[in-house]
Amino acid sequence: MDLAVVYMVAGLSSRFGGKIKQFAKVGPKNETLIEYSINQAINVGFNKIIFIVGEKTEKQFKEMFGKEYKGIKVDYALQNFDPKERDKPWGTVDALCSAEELIDSPFVVCNGDDIYGEKTFEILFNHLKKENTPATIGYELKNVLSEEGTVNRGIFELEGDLVKSIKEVFEISKENFIDKGLKGNTPCSMNIFGFGQSILNNLKQSLERFKKEKKGDRKAECLLSQELGNMIKRGEIIMRIYPTPDKWFGVTNPEDEEKVREELKNLKKI
């Protein structure tokens, strides 16, 4: 059975000096961030990689990975936009829809600049082997906040092991999350989801609706977590949520690079 991992890698990071964050060398063997993540995914059985690239990342990713990585097929989908009408692409739903023609199996979609852990990929792999229904991983908010600055997170409301709602909360920091009505153990999304192919039809419809509502808006983004929350609310999908024993690692600012490198080195010693 084919199972793909779809990585969203279309943008450059302004906080990272306009560089491709996924190429930061953080692994104990000098692996880049994206290589480290892919290795975790293929170690548990995923057998296809799809990169959603942008005009500014397409060339570099193709040069680095080509058509195959460690015997695993690699494909590329281009997310683009019309600069006459937009300042940026239409967001993560648009990114995923741009890969529709390449997705021919159940899949996991995730950020290309986060390290989720091998067990995390294994949990979603096992779920998708059994059923083609939406699934995600919940992380405790206190474990996924940046040491400096703010982050945006999709906040889950749960009913047993199902997601009841997802609300995108912006500019959360270690200093202000209590003021925003959140707790340290509040479950939140790190933008990793497992789906059957049929979700793409729902997402295309959501994207079309969003574009009509936001016509003329040069910056509005159709965010995956928000739209999934809307689908849950409308009763279109039921989403299972799983905890993970893995620690999440991410590089938000250049100074995070050394910290992640040290933590991954220590992880290997355990």
Q: 7, 3, 243: which is closest to 115 by C-alpha?
A: 7
- Helical residues (DSSP H) of the chain, grouped into ranges: 33-43, 58-65, 92-98, 118-130, 199-213, 224-234, 256-269
What is residue 15's predicted lDDT score, i.e. its pLDDT? 67
Q: How many residues does the chain have?
A: 270
What is residue 147's predicted lDDT score, i.e. its pLDDT? 80
Strand 114-115 to strand 162-172: parallel, antiparallel, or no bridges (unpaired)?
A: unpaired
What is residue 270's predicted lDDT score, i.e. its pLDDT? 43
What is residue 207's predicted lDDT score, i.e. its pLDDT? 97
pTM: predicted TM-score of the whole model, two decimal places: 0.95
pLDDT in tens, 56-77: 999 999 999 999 999 999 999 9
Q: Is 147 exposed, middle or buried (0-12, 13-18, 19+ CB in 10 A)?
A: exposed
Domains of the chain: 4-269 (3.90.550.10)
What is residue 133's predicted lDDT score, i.e. its pLDDT? 96
| Beta-carbon contacts of residue 40 (< 8 Å; ≥ 6 apart) | 115, 116, 117, 118, 120, 121
Token representation of residue 56: 């500014």
Token representation of residue 110: 């995730």
Which residues does the chain have with pLDDT short of 50? 270
What is residue 16's predicted lDDT score, i.e. its pLDDT? 67
What is residue 14's predicted lDDT score, i.e. its pLDDT? 67
Specify the 3-state DSSP secondary structure of 245: coil
What is residue 144's predicted lDDT score, i.e. its pLDDT? 93
* φ/ψ (deg, to 5) at 184: -60, -35
CB 6 within 8 A of CB 95: no
Rg of the Cα trace of the chain? Answer: 18
